[in-house]
Amino acid sequence: MATARIDVGKLKEGRFVMIEGQPCLIRSTDHSKPGKHGGAKCRVTGIGIFDGTKREFVAPTGNEVDAPILEKKKGQVLSLSGNKIQLMDLETYETIEMDLPSEDNEAAKGLAEGSTISYIEFEGKRKIMNVKED
């Protein structure tokens, strides 16, 4: 598993963290002040990158959690057929087939053959992040 350790107190919105074994985008963090008999705690709320599920956890700010190491890549759309998309990685020229994002997803807007996209990869899973305007 490609992860790195990071202090809970250093987590910020817009970063990525592993929650319940899934990579999640952090949507909010709430820090509580230390009390008379305990240390400061942090509540982290995230949205799963690949499944869109909301997840939360609470931990002391001094603890460490896993942060996924995501590979950000670029590709060119070769073909769209049904609910599949075929694209070519612009660095390795490898042909990749993946599921087409749903229509309500921002990444699906402007998707056409020949367009350039950016996508992320983690442990063999891939997700289109956005479409580049040519």
Helix, strand, coil fractions of the chain, as percent rounded to 5 = 5, 60, 35
Q: Is 88 helix (H, G, I), strand (E, B) or coil?
A: strand
Q: How far is CA 24 from each of CA 52, 64, 94, 104, rounded to the nearest angstrom?
A: 9, 16, 27, 19
Domains and CATH numbers, the chain: 3-68 (2.30.30.30), 71-132 (2.40.50.140)
**In the chain, how many H helices and how many E strands?**
0, 11
Rama region for 52: left / alpha / beta (φ>0; ψ in -120 to 50; rest): left
Q: What is the pLDDT of residue 55?
A: 95
pLDDT (tens digit per residue) in 64-107:
999 999 999 999 999 888 788 899 999 999 999 988 776 556 66
Question: Could you tell me the pTM of the whole model?
Answer: 0.80
